[in-house]
């Protein structure tokens, strides 16, 4: 059994958001995204994959389709397949987000 501790995944980069893979199969992946203040995951679309964002620490502005909302710890949202989505750490603190995506695009 592969067991992970979410507190172990807190490596940030000043250049761009850092992605840490927790689990991956041919059917899905699960990552922790680490954003420094001002960093973003630019808006993009996955035609055939659904993505779930769950905030672990900090606050971020989440853009799904034509809506955007600030989410904090314990909050999450779904980016359905075909909807543009992205994340911005608009705050002065670090942001960590748990991300699930299925099916795995790789």
CA 101/CA 27 separation, integer angstroms? 9
CA 14/CA 27 separation, integer angstroms? 31
pLDDT tens-place values along the chain, 106 residues long: 999 999 999 999 999 999 999 999 999 999 999 999 999 999 999 999 999 999 999 999 999 999 999 999 999 999 999 999 999 999 999 999 999 999 987 7
pLDDT for res 92: 98
67 strand-pairing partners: 64
pLDDT for res 105: 78
CA 25/CA 82 separation, integer angstroms? 22
CA 29/CA 96 separation, integer angstroms? 16
pLDDT for res 106: 72
Domain architecture of the chain: domains with CATH: 17-97 (2.60.120.10)
Which pTM was predicted?
0.95
**Site of tokens 């705050």:** 91
């Amino acid at each position: 059994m592969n067991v992970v501790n979410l507190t172990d995944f807190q490596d940030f980069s000043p250049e761009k958001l850092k992605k840490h893979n927790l689990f991956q199969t041919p059917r899905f992946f699960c990552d922790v995204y680490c954003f420094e203040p001002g960093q973003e995951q630019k808006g993009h679309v996955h035609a055939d994959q659904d993505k779930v964002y769950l905030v672990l620490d900090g606050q971020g502005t989440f853009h799904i389709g034509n809506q955007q909302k600030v989410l904090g710890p314990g909050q999450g949202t779904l980016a359905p397949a075909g909807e543009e989505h992205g994340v911005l750490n608009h705050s002065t603190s670090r942001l960590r987000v748990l991300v699930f995506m299925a099916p795995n695009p790789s």
